[in-house]
Structure 1
Amino acid sequence: MTNPQFTGGAIDLGALADRKEQTGGFEPFITVDEAGIEQQVIQRSMQIPVVLLIGTPRSPDSESLKAQFEKLAAGQRAFMVGYVDADATPQIAQAMGVRVLPTVLALAGGRPVANFEGNQPADELEQWVGALVSQVGPQLQGLSEEADAPEPAEDPRLDQATEALNAGDFDRATAVYDEILADDPSNAEIKQAKATVAVLKRVQGQGEPEDDVEKQLFAADQEFVAGDPEAAFDRLLALVKAEPRAKERLLELLTLLEPGDPRVIAARTRLASALF
């Protein structure tokens, strides 16, 4: 099933019904990628020690350590293991200064506290983990109750919105989002989804404008929907000094990406320079 969506970092409308809270149930062994390193590893290490295993499926030692850590981590809450596949996410290995695979780093309070390279006998590995938990664990916050909290129930109306989007009925999808916002006015994801639908409707339902400025605004919408927000921002930034509509359109499109997105930060910086 194909859902209308923006590429380039904007919200995936079809994924709203499937999105899980990051604060869901605790998992003692996880696979970590570059996008999750901050939330899943650094933030978790504020609560309990986190063992970061950086390895590769090509290495028997890596696979052996991975299996041993999975066994040690299972069924406990005193520490967590994050596995990084250095082949799939080399950026993490580079950022950690890893020279040998496998490398193991222990983090606590967001900082490395111990490390070793290569494989280890099972008994020595167990002792190493035990020392980490007993010596470092008490200095940390511990897991909060929300780590075991059940995930919130999904709003069934999200399925209705997805069905409407699949059918190209943007007005119906917008109405569903309005219903949800009436019950939960502060829901940022739904606000973003509604704004996204407005742009998508504008692009798919509008013919070629006759006004020159409107042509530029329409072209920016098309670029954004096509997954090239930087081109859209460039186009609008070139007009903001002379045309208030360009500023309004730029600010609208900026809200459809995460505030911390580097492209948003760069565009807002350039906007401030252009206006002041």
Structure 2
Amino acid sequence: MDIIGGAGTAAPAGDVIKDVGEATFMQDVIEASMQAPVIVDFWAPWCGPCKTLGPALEAVVTKAKGAVTMAKVNVDENQRLAQALSQQGLPLQSIPTVVAFVEGRPIDMFQGNVPPSEIEAFVNKAIEAGGGSADGGLSEALDVAEQMLADGDVADAAQTFAAIIGEDDKSAAAYGGLARAHIALEDLDQAEAVLNGAPAEIADAAEIEAGRAQIELARQAENAGPVAELAAKVEASPEDLDARFELAQALHAAGDAEAAVTELLELFRRDREWNDGAAKAQLFTIFDALQPNDPVVLNGRRKLSSLIFA
């Protein structure tokens, strides 16, 4: 699958970073910036900070996968060009100087060495100013994959999530989505393997935690009892906390997360320490599996807090 970039034409990999001089500045910077933003690094071989800034800037531009390009101008070899640009208002007396060009004109700049976070913010700002996507279109691809999953096109969704991971192996959202696709395909072992394969840097990301919670709930659903029988059992014996917990599991397996939370809250109210705090743990598993802004989560957390601090 091809991941589509932002507005304009994404540059081929070999053209993302170029050495540019007076003869090619118009073509590789001014004209090229009509298609996609161009970051121009004015540097010199004797410049110490340039030796650190240049590679850091190249890394960020390369990561954007064509949503932005980079032109490197050696001011020692292109003194007439630097002088002409200075006369047009670009302060090139101090280097390194980095300028972002969008649609043929400079829109932002900085001088001197800056932290990697500021470099990334600078490049992303240029991409967004050019109407593109700072992540090379991966956000749009994620939206497409999520819609596929919602529409029941599970296999295509899984393929799309996998393609996104191929482009960005630190995308926690893609790992979580691929795990959910395998859950939908009832392949829980593969879903677990996907999450276990996520890089350590994102192992605690919310999307990964949500996937693990969804797998746990799906495994519980495989052994869930009949809702009607369990509901009747709880009604006949409200103090039967084992039955109430099983009812909550069955309700969630049947797709009624709100009712499952209600039963667990009641169980917690009756005995918060039952089975080593199993009701509270199950509530957090359900909350983790849902979107943070889901009404079931918001209401459930509020009611649980009221019980805890009552």
Coarse TM-score class (shorter-chain normalised): 0.3 to 0.5
Structure with greater contact order relative to length (CA < 8 Å, sep ≥ 6): 1
> Quick check: which one's helix share is greater?
2
Compare CA radii of gyration and give the structure with the larger one.
Answer: 2
